[in-house]
Every structure is written in C-alpha cells, then in structure tokens.
Amino acid sequence: MKVLIADIFEQSGIEGITAAGCEVIYQPDLADEKLAAALASTSADVLVVRSTKVTEPMLDAGSLSLVVRAGAGVNTIDVSAASRRGIYVSNCPGKNAIAVAELAFGLILALDRRIPDNTADLRAGRWNKKEYSKAEGLYGRTLGLLGFGNVGQEVARRANAFGMPVIVWSRRFVRDGAHSPAEGRTSRSARTDIEITVIQSPEEVAERADVLSVHLALTDDTRNFVGASILNRLKPGAYFVNTSRGEIVDHAALADAVRTRGIRVGLDVFAQEPSTATDDFRDPLIGLPNVIGTHHIGASTDQAQEAIAAEAVRVIRTYKDTGKVPNVVNLATKTPATHMLVVRHRDRPGVLAHVFEHLRSGNLNVQETENVIFEGAEAAIARINLDGQPSAHLLKTIAQGNQDILNLHVVTI
C-alpha cells in the first residue's frame, strides 16, 4: 500500500506507517496542480494531509481509496466528491484538543492582563505600571462556550481550575435531550466530570458571559454563525476568543463590536488566511485597539503533533490490516434501504452470487450486506439491505433456484 504524505508530518508517524508495511512517499510541499500530478504519478492508495486542500480534480487524478486528515476538521477536503467516488475520508479527532485549549486560555489571560501591550511598551523603552495595573482578573468571572466538543471540554476544565463559572451552549445538548445536563442547572457532567451550566441559546450565553470562546466545527450551518445577534449581546468590555475557524464569525460584526462596545478580542483564526506558512498578511481586525492574534497555531505543539501522527498511523494500519477505517466521516448513517432480505443458507460457494444475480434481474439495488458464519462453518445467515421490496415471485425463484438456501424472509426497515 502506497501512502503519499503531502504536508509536514512527524518523523515518528513516517516511521510508524513504514513499520506497518506501507511504502511512504513524503513530499510535504505539494499543493494544487503539483499534488494532483503526484497522485497521478505515484498511484498512491492513501493521502495524508494537514492543512493542504484536497479538491475533486485531485481525487480524479489518482487512484486513492483513503484520505487521512492529520487533524480534527475536514473542511479542507471535498468530502462530497470523495463520497461519490467511494473514497474514505478519516480524521484524528481530539488529539489536538489540549493544545488548542491551552492557546485559547493563553489568549484569555493575554486579554485580561494586556500582555502583548505590556511587552510592546517594554520593547519600546516605556515603563507604564500605572496603566497596566488595571486588570480585572478572571476568578469568579463567567466563561461562555459556544460548542462543547473535545476542545470546549478542555477549555472548561481549565476554567474550572481558575475558579470561573462555565456556561455552555451546544447542539449536542439539544440533540441528547434528557441525557444532557438540565437547562440552567449547574452540574458535573458524568461524561466529562466538568462543572458547567447548560444554556439553551447562544445569545443568552453571550449576554451572561464575561468571556465568550468559540469552539464550533465549520459546517454550512455554522458559517458566519457568530454574528451581530450574538456579538451585540456581549457586555461592554467583554472578551471574545476564537480558536476554531475564522469563517464561523462575521468579522464585520466583530469589528463593529470592538469599535462600539469596547470588546477585547483574541483570535487564532481569520476570515482570509494565507495558503502558505509564510506570507504577507492584512486583516482590518488585527489593526484595531484591544485585538490580539496568533498565526493559526492552536494545534501546533509537539505534544499535539505526536499524538496526531500516532492516530494517523493507527488509521492507516487498521485500514491496511482489516479494510476498516477508524474515524471515517463520510459513511452514510442511514442508507436508502427500505427492506432487508434475510437468507439462511449452507456455507457453500455460489449461494450469494445466485441471490445477488436474481436481485439484479429484479432491479433491486443492494445497499448493505452482512454474512455471518455459524460455528463449525457449515451454515451462515446473510442480511441484505435493499432499496425496494422483492416480489413474492422473485423470492420463490431465489429459494427454489439453489438447494443450499435453507430459508429466506423479508423484513421492512
């Protein structure tokens, strides 16, 4: 199995993939047309990327069966195009959560104590203890979280340690219903052992928070999710931090909140980021007073990158050895199947081929299938999910056409 790594990747990961019996092609500077050309020339089975975009033409150029995102999000990969071509897309969720949470809390502390401004004045030869002694402090102030995935949970743990009450809005609590902490009630979640209060709207979180931190995945639903309706509910002088994705925040509305409401802002992500590691950068937000930033480095610690590399190795090794893909993101949770054909049969060659051939003649598409062998390997039971109901005549034809079929029946699903 050939694995093309098209981004900077840990040496431990390269060694792990090689030890799994794969041929590794390490070309970390590939992008755009060069990546498409490399996929075509190498005939790689697996592509590993970090921030490099994977487009439909790239998927057409080679013979990939798996794309591994060495990180959490998959918004840089054309997942829909991969799904149409039967290409698995996998990621490494949660492995950089601590690193991102550490940076988020670093930005919160930097905003409260104005650390960048302190440093700039010192470097310019100015001593201004009177100005910089005006910090309010974090103890007892409320941290609001939008999103409570792996990163949000790690931020909440650190807030608990700082003595900050944590309020949370997350779709997971809306989905989970009764299994979630009750609205407005402070609780220690059994799943996370973190003390939080669940709030039912992001606007109310913003209204009650002294610090608002965003930890949402970028989807069609979350693009520009944090706009004026949320930002205008923040208290004057509140802190706003985003270490998730720049596209989640309406940056024009955020700039307005900075100008009109004195919001202090810490950003690791921006609306328009350079596509390369070093480049010129201009963003109107970062030039405003009380706005500080970092260079989209949330996941960039040695600890996080080693953990991500180890998880990427596990994904590739499992795929090579078993054909199964851990952390796959593009398998259907529910197929269009409406009926299941259950076939109990002797474990003999040609039985399932006979069944599938007659299903094809009946214009029935097999959506999923499972064949389980009984102890002793003399008999088996096949469960075949179909996109329609087989006719009584077709069932009779299948049953009578092969002597190794012991029984069959149809279940509506």
245 is catalytic: yes
State how beta strands 366-373 and 379-386 pair.
antiparallel
Are residues 360 and 388 in contact, defined by beta-carbon separation less than 8 angstroms? Answer: no
Please tell me the distance from the alpha carbon of residue 112 to that of residue 124, in angstroms, as a whole number.
Answer: 21
Contacts of 61 (CB under 8 A, 6+ apart): 36, 37, 39, 40
Please tell me the distance from the alpha carbon of residue 165 to that of residue 156, in angstroms, as a whole number.
Answer: 9
Q: DSSP string covering 182-210, please?
A: PBT-EEE-TTT--EEEE-S-HHHHHHH-S
Please tell me the distance from the alpha carbon of residue 216 to that of residue 227, in angstroms, as a whole number.
Answer: 14
Selected catalytic residue, list 273, 306, 339, 383? 273
273 is catalytic: yes
Selected catalytic residue, list 50, 114, 233, 245? 245
Selected catalytic residue, list 114, 141, 215, 296? 296
215 is catalytic: no
Alpha helices (H) along 242-324: 251-261, 302-322
Alpha helices (H) along 87-245: 97-113, 115-123, 129-132, 150-161, 171-176, 202-208, 228-231
Measured at the CA of 278, the angle between CA 272 and CA 282, to 5 degrees, comes to 40
Are residues 211 and 243 in contact, defined by beta-carbon separation less than 8 angstroms? Answer: no
Q: How far apart are the first and last CA of the chain?
A: 38
Q: DSSP string covering 125-136, please?
A: T---HHHHT---
State the catalytic residues: 245, 273, 296
